[in-house]
Structure 1
Amino acid sequence: MRRPPPQTLIALILTALWGLGLGVMHLHGDIPFIDGAEATLTNLRNAGGGSRKPPDVVTIVAIDDETSRVAGHYPLPRATLAKIIDAIAALGPKTIALDMLLLDPGDEAGDEALEQSLKRTNAVLAAAGIFPESRQRVADDSKEPLARVPSALQFLEPQQRFADAASYGVVNVQTDKTGTPRFVPMLFRSGERIEPSFSLRVVSAATGEHPTVISDHIKLGDRSVHTDNGYLMPLSFYGPRGTIRTISASAALNGQLPEEAIRDHIVIIGATVTGGGDVFPTPFDPVLPGVEVISTSITHLIAGDGLVRDRGVRFIDLYFAVGLPVLVVSLLSWRRNTIGLIMALCVVLAWLAINVNVFKHGIWLSAALPIAATVPPALLFGAAQLWLGRKQAGRFAEQSELLQRIQAPGLAEHLARDPSFLAAPVHQEAAVVFIDINGFTGLSETIGPTAVRDLLNGFYYLVDEEVTASGGAITSFMGDGAMILFGLPQPKRADPANAARCCIRLADRMRGWLAAMPEATASRIGFKIGAHFGTIVASRLGGGGRQQITATGDTVNIASRLMEVAARNRAEIAISNDLLHSAGRDSVPFMEGKLDGPIETKLRGRAGSLAIWLWRGRHDAERP
């Protein structure tokens, strides 16, 4: 495999460090700037799973509008509350929990009745913590786990007479930025004092098992309660209000409580009356009563069917926060095209499928953390790749333009499409044309380098324009001359005719070009053209650093020698009979000048003779 370029290695290292930093922060607690995104994604996963039937563990006895009407007062008189408790206790519940704060004294008779009712049953009361913020924060101190539980300024406890008659626990829940309850803390602290939660106290009273606090979880008898940092238990709601069985407290006042819903159940008494204010938004219901939130946590503790989000799960989140962005950036750098994007998208979709499926099975892997770890590096890397790609494309465009200047457009485009073009020599038929300026060497010695450059630039431009228009390819400029091929990149039947017409066009343009020069210059130079048709050897010559497309063979040598024949006979063009025959004499516009031949002539360095034709433009043809 190719070694990745340094910028890719740097991008991967920075991506891994970014993910690792977020993962370590997440390991010690939620990250505020992605907490909102995690809340939204968790709601979507909850709602996507749909409602489910809760275990038959808890029954809610609701102080609702009907109860308030029957009692004639809200809040309920404590004597009325005592009657409700007595009616429930008569049917044999495991425990009765009051999700309401009994902070202030009422009338003595009512308080006395309630106190006696509490003493006659296994009851748990609610206390509350006052926190400096609406959302309880968990301090980070891994050396002392109990220091990480939510810390309250103070506890609001039941009246002392009620506290002596029953146990109590702190009823607060922890919400996210949307106000949705996400956790129920199992423990609370205020100064050096540690108090259990209302839910934990209720379950302990119902089962007779005392909780044991261990470094990273809580044990109830033989069962372990998986908790998050600070002994927080995640909530997984069963559905909208009423999903957990709810009975109006008016049924207790009327003696109509169903025994099967009370006996051997945990009974939670709480308010659902309109305007009571104790409601929370959840994925299933925007106004879920607080008593149902507490009942959900109690059901989780008994049935063990809540979400698992502990330190081990957070470590898995850390691995995803590092691995997912590194893998995505690696794919984007390995395949900088649509395939790379599709592969990266497939990886993200696979992670998403794993995340959703695991959530359905009760494990709360973070969704926002890997997204936050992946999106910024991927966008930055993609933007950098796009910028580098555009910069590289600009450089390639400049190189292509330069190549177009150096090589004939047809050859350059074909070479760009097919890098193996002429990698091996090719024998094929082609027309070869040479053009050269007579007297250039002597002129260049007198007019200076600037004038020489300007003269050659004009000559090169003229030749390039006419050859391109005729469909030929300039294989090289040789000082004051040029070699032109008709037959590359692929030979065509019209190559000989195109070559002959190119000779005529070049002669006409050269004549006009010379006429536009000062007389002192034009009188000292002229031009000659030689053209032949036959077999050539086309190839790329040179080493790995630089190569030149060219043609060799006897056909090339003959075309070059024909320029001498043209000059010796004071003609503009010497064209072989082979080329003229292949082109078809009628297809070439020789009527604009004088064509003589065929003439058998000797060529320097060659045995035998060759039939040629000499062409002079109209101006030269009329000259004596």
Structure 2
Amino acid sequence: MSHRLLTVIALLFAGLWGAALGYLNLNGEAGLLDRMEATLADVRSLAVGAREPPPVVSIVAIDDRTAAAHGYPLDRATLARLVGAINAGKPKALALDILLVDPGPEEGDAALTAALRQGPTVIAGAATFAQSRQQVIDSAEDPLAAIPEANQLLLPLPRFAEAAAVGIVNVATDQTGTPRFVPLISRSADRLDPAFPLRAASLALGADPSIERDAVMLGALRIPTDIGQRLPLTFYGGRGSIATFSAADALDGKLPAAAVAGRIVVIGSTVTGGGDVFPTPFDPVMPGVEVMSTAIIHLVTGDGMVRDRRMRLIDAGIAIGLALLLVSLMAWRRSAAGYLITVLVLVVWAMLNLSAFANGFWLSAALPIAAALPPALLLGAAELWRDRGRARHFAEQSALLQRIEAPGLGEWLARDPNFLAAPVRQNAAVIFIDLSGFTGLSEKLGPVKVSEVLSGFFEIIDDEARSQGGAITSFMGDGAMILFGLPQPADDDAARAVSCAVSLCERTRTWLGAHAGFAEKKIGFKVGAHCGPIVASRLGTGDRQQITAAGDTVNVGARLMEVAAHNGVELALSDEIVRAAGPDSALPQAGRMEGPLETELRGRASHIDAWLWHSRTL
């Protein structure tokens, strides 16, 4: 598969994969992505750090000191005194994060009812669901259709509900129990109830809420909401970040006036072991009353995160764009520079995402990662598979080159692809070998038998050339040229060439004798060897090139085969190569030398001195 086709397939997959994940996320159906996003939201919250909440809410905590002094839970009469003491300070609204679902002593219940009527007050209710986790699915037709339906509501006693407004205190947590959203509307079979924070904010602002598809309106204030009319929660810090005062001080008349006047006051339990705690990025035991207070501040000041359909649409666009960009970068340049650019793109995206989060826009971090990584990894795996295939191909080609060229020459070409790109003049030794009488025999043998015979002949030449470090620069049918001195000339080129020529004679003679009928047909061979200056170069252009040698040395070597045939010997050598090889060469050891003889060469004006070699086995 070509690189271009692979890139096109990867881009199509990246676009479709990103679009599919974006669609699921847009409609609230990406459960795994939501779990990933929850973790990444915590990381970004910690990276941004704690911040100072707006001074609009005070918490009056029924803490350990209150429990020690007045018992826990507070009886209704004591709770009535606490509500009365706070209402006396003229708060904008008072919110009791306490479930008042069971009757108490009549005197206490009556006192609490009277206290609740003294000012704008909200008391808590709760909803229960058939399943612990609810799925919310976006609906364009009805802004309330995405709200899960509760199977039961835990509401305050009617006498308390008549004296104060009721709000539902449920929160939507992730898999770790961290509150991520507050559902602003709760729905049961026959009624809709606003959330506890929405009731408190509505009383404080003096505006009834109105519901839109992606927002809740509180007068002129528009609060963006996520799917299912959920308010995203981002915490200001650990417990105590929101101004918190002990209920014991309020009961003893020691509560500062500034803690109540003009503020929304939330009463709730923070007593150790009370059970109403949640893990958050900043604190593993955040009191539930502080979670509710955080949501109230978001609603009153509008400083909460923007996580609505518009943000989810942007998420989908970023997911598709980042996936396409990463795949394009990986396909464009697979190098250190390409990988660096890819890393820089991811770093820039991460910084922009973090900046948006710090400025109140909750863009998904999990969705772009989930959209971009699989296509990029699949492309990388496919390219790796393709590269391995190409590596196997090149290995096979290299092995083929090693079979055709001498090993040393093949390795040299691998290290220096420009070897002999320009012709080089240097000293070398050359051997020519040729079968005699074979042309006539090949007419009778047929092409298949001829190929088998010549393959055996070539194996002999290849073995001897390799063993002596020579390069077969030409093999034409029943003859070959072997060169000694490439890639670089050596002092023993002539000696190795002589040794190779002698071995070729011995092995070729044995091979011919092993073939029945060759003797009757008078099939023989002749070898010529010479040394001197040559011009080595590449012939051909483009993808078809061959290394060869030219010059008078090559011509003399070829003509010496005729000298051998004319004198009835197997091997004729020039006086130059005999002297260069030295007295310790393979010539005198393996046979008898005759010469030097002054010899004419066809097509050459000057004579040369030649030696005729006779094998000792003949």
Relative to the length of structure 2, the TM-score reads 0.92
- Structure 1 residue 22: deviation in Å? 0.1
Aligned ranges 1:250-329 → 2 under 5 Å: 250-329=248-327
CA contact (8 A) 2:14 2:375 kept: yes
What does the per-residue CA deviation read over 1:126-152, in whole Å, with 9 as the maximum and x for residues that have no partner?
Answer: 222233332343232113223223433
- Specify the alignment match of 1:44 in structure 2: 43
Aligned partner of residue 612 in structure 1, secondary structure: strand
- Specify the alignment match of 2:15 in structure 1: 16
C-alpha distance in 2, partners of 1:306/1:594?
105
- Specify the alignment match of 1:148 in structure 2: 146
What does the per-residue CA deviation read over 1:14-56, in whole Å, with 9 as the maximum and x for residues that have no partner?
Answer: 1110011101111122511222222222222223333333232
- Specify the alignment match of 1:178 in structure 2: 176
- Specify the alignment match of 1:538 in structure 2: 536
493, 496, 521: which one aligns with 2:494: 496
Q: 1:396 to 1:291 in 2, by over 3 A?
A: same
Aligned ranges 1:443-482 → 2 under 5 Å: 443-444=441-442, 452-482=450-480
C-alpha distance in 2, partners of 1:97/1:287?
21
Aligned partner of residue 5 in structure 1, secondary structure: helix
| Structure 1 counterpart of 2:26, one-letter code | L
What does the per-residue CA deviation read over 1:55-90, in whole Å, with 9 as the maximum and x for residues that have no partner?
Answer: 322211112333233333x33221111100111122
Q: 1:8 to 1:432 in 2, by over 3 A?
A: same
| Structure 2 counterpart of 1:34, one-letter code | L
C-alpha distance in 2, partners of 1:305/1:4?
50
| Structure 2 counterpart of 1:596, one-letter code | E
> Which stretch of structure 1 is more off in the superposition, 108-117 or 609-618?
609-618
Aligned partner of residue 206 in structure 1, secondary structure: helix
| Structure 1 counterpart of 2:45, one-letter code | N
- Specify the alignment match of 2:27 in structure 1: 28
Aligned partner of residue 145 in structure 2, secondary structure: helix
Aligned positions, number: 616
107, 110, 120: which one aligns with 1:109: 107
What does the per-residue CA deviation read over 1:233-255, in whole Å, with 9 as the maximum and x for residues that have no partner?
Answer: 21111222222222221222222
Residue 347 (str. 1) matches residue 342 (str. 2)? no
Residue 589 (str. 1) matches residue 566 (str. 2)? no
C-alpha distance in 2, partners of 1:538/1:277?
91
Aligned partner of residue 182 in structure 2, secondary structure: strand
C-alpha distance in 1, partners of 2:520/2:83?
124
| Structure 1 counterpart of 2:28, one-letter code | G
Aligned partner of residue 365 in structure 1, secondary structure: coil
| Structure 1 counterpart of 2:585, one-letter code | V
CA contact (8 A) 1:27 1:318 kept: yes
> Which stretch of structure 1 is more off in the superposition, 15-24 or 257-266?
257-266
C-alpha distance in 2, partners of 1:270/1:130?
20
| Structure 2 counterpart of 1:86, one-letter code | G
C-alpha distance in 2, partners of 1:231/1:450?
85
C-alpha distance in 2, partners of 1:356/1:216?
23
C-alpha distance in 2, partners of 1:139/1:594?
101
What does the per-residue CA deviation read over 1:162-198, in whole Å, with 9 as the maximum and x for residues that have no partner?
Answer: 2222222222111112221101122333357433221
- Structure 1 residue 293: deviation in Å? 0.5
- Structure 1 residue 268: deviation in Å? 0.4
C-alpha distance in 2, partners of 1:210/1:509?
109
Aligned partner of residue 131 in structure 2, secondary structure: coil
C-alpha distance in 2, partners of 1:138/1:444?
86
Aligned partner of residue 306 in structure 1, secondary structure: coil
| Structure 1 counterpart of 2:65, one-letter code | E
What does the per-residue CA deviation read over 1:320-350, in whole Å, with 9 as the maximum and x for residues that have no partner?
Answer: 2112222222233333455544443443333
Aligned ranges 1:385-424 → 2 under 5 Å: 385-424=383-422
- Structure 1 residue 315: deviation in Å? 2.1
Aligned partner of residue 314 in structure 1, secondary structure: helix
Aligned partner of residue 122 in structure 2, secondary structure: strand
Aligned partner of residue 146 in structure 1, secondary structure: coil
C-alpha distance in 1, partners of 2:491/2:297?
90
What does the per-residue CA deviation read over 1:257-302, in whole Å, with 9 as the maximum and x for residues that have no partner?
Answer: 2223222221101122334322212122222211110011112223
- Structure 1 residue 199: deviation in Å? 0.9
| Structure 1 counterpart of 2:33, one-letter code | I
Gaps of 5+ in 2: none
- Specify the alignment match of 2:155 in structure 1: 157
What does the per-residue CA deviation read over 1:523-578, in whole Å, with 9 as the maximum and x for residues that have no partner?
Answer: 93332211223443433334646333323333322211110101111233222234
C-alpha distance in 1, partners of 2:127/2:286?
21
| Structure 1 counterpart of 2:614, one-letter code | R
- Specify the alignment match of 1:223 in structure 2: 221
C-alpha distance in 1, partners of 2:392/2:190?
69
Aligned partner of residue 98 in structure 1, secondary structure: strand
> Which stretch of structure 1 is more off in the superposition, 89-98 or 375-384?
375-384
C-alpha distance in 2, partners of 1:49/1:95?
31
C-alpha distance in 2, partners of 1:612/1:520?
29
CA contact (8 A) 1:229 1:311 kept: yes
CA contact (8 A) 1:137 1:151 kept: no
C-alpha distance in 1, partners of 2:572/2:460?
20
Q: 1:522 to 1:191 in 2, by over 3 A?
A: farther
- Specify the alignment match of 2:596 in structure 1: 598
> Which stretch of structure 1 is more off in the superposition, 262-271 or 510-519?
510-519
C-alpha distance in 1, partners of 2:320/2:409?
49
| Structure 2 counterpart of 1:413, one-letter code | E
- Specify the alignment match of 1:91 in structure 2: 89
C-alpha distance in 2, partners of 1:137/1:471?
77
C-alpha distance in 2, partners of 1:520/1:228?
95
Q: 1:200 to 1:353 in 2, by over 3 A?
A: same
CA contact (8 A) 1:138 1:151 kept: no
| Structure 2 counterpart of 1:203, one-letter code | A
C-alpha distance in 1, partners of 2:555/2:363?
79
- Specify the alignment match of 1:65 in structure 2: 64
| Structure 1 counterpart of 2:32, one-letter code | F
> Which stretch of structure 1 is more off in the superposition, 290-299 or 312-321?
312-321
- Structure 1 residue 492: deviation in Å? 3.9
Aligned partner of residue 104 in structure 2, secondary structure: coil
CA contact (8 A) 1:77 1:110 kept: yes
What does the per-residue CA deviation read over 1:353-407, in whole Å, with 9 as the maximum and x for residues that have no partner?
Answer: 3333332333222122122212322332222222222222222222222232233
C-alpha distance in 2, partners of 1:390/1:177?
42
Q: 1:290 to 1:455 in 2, by over 3 A?
A: same
C-alpha distance in 1, partners of 2:488/2:227?
75
Gaps of 5+ in 1: none
- Structure 1 residue 491: deviation in Å? 3.6
| Structure 2 counterpart of 1:159, one-letter code | L
